[in-house]
């Protein structure tokens, strides 16, 4: 994939993900009747929506903020945990397949965003083990 296509794919996936996470977070923060009904049906206390809402909004902000690659890694992890937990919760109470699949589709979008992110939004690579081993070896005498 060329750099231009990769960049376009990244921003499409990140835009969809960021919008979805931010919109979900704002809905959680407003404690709309629909959010409270779903949280209750899933067996969670209503106050959990506020906590999840704050985390979702902060995660969406982190995705779009320039720099801070470690913060982005944490945001992607949190989004993954939130969405897979939502899918598992819906499955556990016997909700229809669509309600289980929707968060899993967003997990796929998150994975695409993470995989396509540019170097400026990635953590620096760790040195390879063989490079570390060579760094500790004494130089050969000529």
Mean pLDDT of 77-91: 98
In order of 23, 98, 120, 124, the CA distances from 69 in angstroms are 23, 33, 8, 9
**pLDDT value, residue 137:** 61
pLDDT of 20-66, one tens digit each? 999 999 999 999 999 999 999 999 999 999 999 999 999 999 999 98
Task: Return the higher-pLDDT residue of 140 and 100.
Answer: 100
- The burial class, CB within 10 Å (0-12 / 13-18 / 19+), for 16 is middle
How many whole angstroms separate alpha carbon 116 and alpha carbon 72? 13
**pLDDT value, residue 67:** 87
Would you give the DSSP letter of residue 46? T
Would you give the DSSP letter of residue 24? H
């Amino acid at each position: 994939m060329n750099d231009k296509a990769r960049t376009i794919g990244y921003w499409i996936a990140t835009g969809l993900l960021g919008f979805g996470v931010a919109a979900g977070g704002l809905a959680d923060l407003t404690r709309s009747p629909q959010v409270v009904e779903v949280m209750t049906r899933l067996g969670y206390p209503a106050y959990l929506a506020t906590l999840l809402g704050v985390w979702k909004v902060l995660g969406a902000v982190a995705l779009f903020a320039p720099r801070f690659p470690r913060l982005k890694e944490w945001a992607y992890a949190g989004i993954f945990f939130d969405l897979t937990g939502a899918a598992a919760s819906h499955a556990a109470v016997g909700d229809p397949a669509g309600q289980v699949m929707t968060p899993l589709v967003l997990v796929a979008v998150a994975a695409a965003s993470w995989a396509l992110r540019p170097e400026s939004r990635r953590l620096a690579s760790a040195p390879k083990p063989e490079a570390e081993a060579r760094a500790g070896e004494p130089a050969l005498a000529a």
